[in-house]
Amino acid sequence: MKRICILGSTGSIGTQTLDIVREYSDDLKVISLSASGSVDRMEAQIREFEPKMVCMFKEDAADELRKRVADTDTKVLCGMDGLIELCEDDEVDMVVTAVVGMIGIRPTIAAIKAGKDIALANKETLVCAGHIIMPLAEKMGIKILPVDSEHSAIFQSMQGFPKKSVEKILLTASGGPFRGRKREELVDITWREALKHPNWTMGRKITIDSSTLVNKGLEVIEAKWLFGVEPDRIQVVLQPQSIIHSAVQYVDGGIIAQLGTPDMKLPIQYALFYPDRRPMKEERVDLFKLGQIIFEKPDMDTFLGLKLAYRAIDEGGSMPTVLNAANEKAVALFLDDKIHFLDIYDIIEESMNRHEKIEAPTVEQILEAEADCYEFIASKWSS
């Protein structure tokens, strides 16, 4: 029996993780859950999974939830202290970090220090703090199991092969809904169009990030940390059908890839049961129906997300934090109809240009860089 804590249990990855728990209730037990403010959903999850503890990040949501579940045995915590308490709990074996944003960093560090394996779905953890997380995980001897479909595919493609034989990583991307368009065709894009991803059903922020290729840029940074491969050996390949989830090319020229339907359930389940592979009822890839697999080079001059990310990782230090923070704010402004699609790139670039890089930032400095970036964007674009 594996006892798990899910941070971000009401989101897209969180609810799909719970689908797997439901299916494998003899092997997985939910000890704790967390959410930002979705009281209704958390109440339903408490009644179904009967966790020992939950944490609502927002205090008023925690107060409301406490009243609602007073008839249960579940303890309701709140804020960052609450998240950390969930992660340090002796009864937990593995923490699934599916929260969005920098708030994932501190709890993940706490969980690693407490010796828990991590099923990692929070991008910021490695993008901003990879230099802290990876050495710490190694020191503590814990596993960081990627949940993102691409990183899971790379991880799966590395099983049984020595790391030193990796020549390069082939990180696939669908290219998003605007693949093939030129810059002038992106000027009037609305967020409604950007939310129509051709293959994947995901949360709003990550869907916008897919359309700008910022998501792929963040994934390059994550891959560098997860697999210890420098960015010049991580090649992004467009594969519009999202069937090849990524691949690894070895020194002998052999390429090992992982294929599957565009469904997050496999990567989540693989992380939960690693190194086992458990049966899954979902749809299979029908190669005959697929007929052919198409590959394209990404247009880095139109979709600047990737270019900016390579720059951020190249400059290193606190720069990826600024890329991520600026993008987060810019996407929020875009979803709020305050800026145009292409402004997202301008906001990121300007934020990076003005930032004075810190070489190996502490968590404090990462959060300061984020706050400083937010302030700059608020003063310039928010009104």
Binding site for Mg ion (CB under 5 A): 148, 150
Q: How far is the CB of 207 from Mg ion (least distance, A)?
A: 11
User: Which amino acid makes up residue 41?
Assistant: R
Contact 54, 46 (CB under 8 A): yes
Minimal distance, residue 363 CB to Mg ion, in Å = 24
Nearer to Mg ion, 146 or 361 (CB): 146
- 3 state SS for 111-154: HHHCCCEEEECCHHHHHHHHHHHHHHHHHHCCCEEECCHHHHHH
Residues 6 or more apart in contact with residue 299 via CB below 8 angstroms: 179, 180
Q: CB nearer to Mg ion: give 148 or 372.
A: 148
CB of 75 to Mg ion, least distance (A): 34
In the complex with Mg ion, the residue whose CB is nearer, 31 or 98, is 98
Q: Strands 166-173 and 244-250: what pairing?
A: antiparallel
| Tokens found for residue 211 | 């359309």
Our CB check for Mg ion shows the closer of 200 and 381 to be: 200
Q: Which is nearer to Mg ion, 64 or 150 (CB)?
A: 150
Measured from the CB atom, the residue of 150 and 372 that comes closer to Mg ion is: 150
Nearest distance from C-beta of residue 217 to Mg ion, angstroms: 11
CA-CA-CA-CA torsion sign (6, 41, 56, 366): positive
- Minimum distance from residue 148 beta carbon to Mg ion (Å): 4
Instruction: State the minimum distance, in angstroms, from the CB of residue 152 to Mg ion.
Output: 9
Closest-approach residue to Mg ion (CB): 148
- Cβ(315)–Cβ(300) below 8 Å: no
Q: What is the DSSP letter of 249?
A: E
Name the phi and psi angles at 366, rounded to 5: -65, -45
Q: Given the complex with Mg ion, which of 150 and 370 has the nearer CB atom?
A: 150
Shortest Cβ distance from residue 173 to Mg ion (Å)? 8
Instruction: Determine the longest span between alpha carbons in the chain, in angstroms.
Output: 62
The H or E element containing residue 109 is helix 105-113
